[in-house]
Structure 1
Amino acid sequence: MKNALITASTKGMGRAIAIAFAKEGINLAICSRNQADLLAFKDELLALNPAIKVFIAVTDCSIKQQILEFAGAAEQELGFISIIVNNAGMYEYASILDDAEETFAQQINTNLMPAYELYRYFGKTMIAAREGHIFNICSIAAINPIPEAGTYSVTKFALLGLNKVMKLEMQQHGVKVTAIIPGSTLTDSWKGMQVDKDRMILPEDIASAIVNIYKMSAGANVDEIIVTPTFGQI
């Protein structure tokens, strides 16, 4: 049975991806900053598929030590982690010139650092096993920057760059790396805003894409996939 680690897993895309992998019979290591959410979601996943294992850890993904502790505990509990989904992220609606003093560090540490550290932690193990698939949840802002979300755009651009480097480093070892590049997706980032869900990508759409990419043959790697709303960005 395969083991997947998903960051920021109780809401939005992370939640939908965890549910999709549970249905595929894949063991899960999931994290969130809220223990009650994690416990409830673990019960939900096990009810969905009692055959899988679900490891949970309260983790602030913006803190390097906590992300490394989560990785180590997941590996100890489940064994070899062959799937990583770097989903943790934060979105702040502001131009760079209007950023608060701590904004740059916060967004680097949330949108980029966890993917970098998990790659360094698990990468050599994947190389030794000649197996693995890393998914990095980027954003359409990595390709078409959003001036009203300047620092977010910069960090997602950096994550897409990291994805490209990962792909080049891992391809000779048979380890797959895929950038998921969604447009406007119905997640908590839109909380408090008036939006029409029928004009947005749903988290389940991203989860479906990831599972189908994962299930491709050993010789096929999807470098990146762009998913945008049918009617255009919101």
Structure 2
Amino acid sequence: MNNALITGATKGMGRAIAIAFAKQGVNLAICSRSANDLSSFKTELLQINADIKVFTAVADGSKKNELLQFAVAAESELGFISVLINSLGTYKYASILDEVDGDFETMLNTNLMPAYELYRFFGKKMIAKGSGHIFNICSVAALDVIPQAGSYSVSKAALLSLTNVMRLEMQPHGIKVTAVIPGSTFTNSWKGMDVDQDSMVQPEDIASAIINIYTMSTGANVDEIIIKPVKGQL
């Protein structure tokens, strides 16, 4: 049975991805700052599939020490982590000139650092095993920057670049790396805004795409996939 570690797994896209992997019979390692969120979600996942293991840890994934402690504990509890899904992210609607001090660091520590650190932690272990798949949840803002969300765009562009480096480093070893690039997706980032949910990508769409890529043959990899609203970006 395979084991997947998912950051940002209790909300939005990460939550939908965790549910989709549970249905596939994959053991899960998830973390959150909220013990209550973890407890209720673990119960939900085990109701979906009672045959899987679900390891949870209270941790802030934007803090390097807590993130790596979670990674160590997940590996100790489940064994080899064959699927890594970097879904943790945050969004701030502000131009770079208007954002408050610390916003840029928050974006980097949430949207970029976890993928970098978890890659360094798990990458060589995947090479040693000769198997593994890494999914990084990027954003169309990495391709077409959003001036009203400057630091977010920079952090997601850096994540996409990191993903491309990962793929080339892992390619000789048969380890798969996929950049998932969603457009306007209905998550908590849109909370309080007047948007038409039905005109947006749904978190379940992202999860479905990832499962389809994950279940492809050993010799196939999707380098990147772009999923946007049919009527264009909001």
Q: Calculate the TM-score normalised by the size of structure 1.
A: 0.99
Aligned to 1:216: 216
Aligned to 1:180: 180
Moved over 3 A (4+): none
Counterpart amino acid of 1:87? S
Q: Give deviations 1:67-124, integer Å, cap 9, x for gaps.
A: 0001000000000000000000110000001111111111100000000000000000
Q: Give deviations 1:166-189, integer Å, cap 9, x for gaps.
A: 000001001000000000000000
Q: CA deviation at 1:230?
A: 0.5
Partners of 1:62 and 1:18 in 2: CA distance:
19
SS at match of 2:10: coil
Aligned to 2:21: 21
Aligned to 1:63: 63
Partners of 1:37 and 1:104 in 2: CA distance:
27
SS at match of 1:55: strand
Partners of 1:183 and 1:33 in 2: CA distance:
26
Q: CA deviation at 1:33?
A: 1.0
SS at match of 2:226: strand
Unpaired stretches in structure 1, ≥5 consecutive residues: none
Aligned to 2:82: 82
SS at match of 1:218: coil
Q: Give deviations 1:114-150, integer Å, cap 9, x for gaps.
A: 0000000000000000100000000000000000000
SS at match of 2:97: helix
Counterpart amino acid of 1:205? D
Aligned to 2:106: 106
Matched, 1:128 2:128: yes
Q: CA deviation at 1:45?
A: 0.3
Q: CA deviation at 1:227?
A: 0.2
Counterpart amino acid of 2:29? A
| Aligned 1:197-208 pairs, distance under 5 A | 197-208=197-208
Partners of 1:128 and 1:79 in 2: CA distance:
14
Partners of 1:135 and 1:123 in 2: CA distance:
13
Partners of 1:200 and 1:31 in 2: CA distance:
27
Deviates more, 1:181-190 or 1:99-108: 99-108
SS at match of 1:97: coil
Unpaired stretches in structure 2, ≥5 consecutive residues: none
Partners of 1:112 and 1:215 in 2: CA distance:
26
SS at match of 1:134: strand
Partners of 1:147 and 1:104 in 2: CA distance:
14
Partners of 2:66 and 2:88 in 1: CA distance:
13
Aligned to 1:36: 36
SS at match of 1:90: coil
Q: CA deviation at 1:58?
A: 1.0
Q: CA deviation at 1:152?
A: 0.1
Q: Calculate the TM-score normalised by the size of structure 2.
A: 0.99
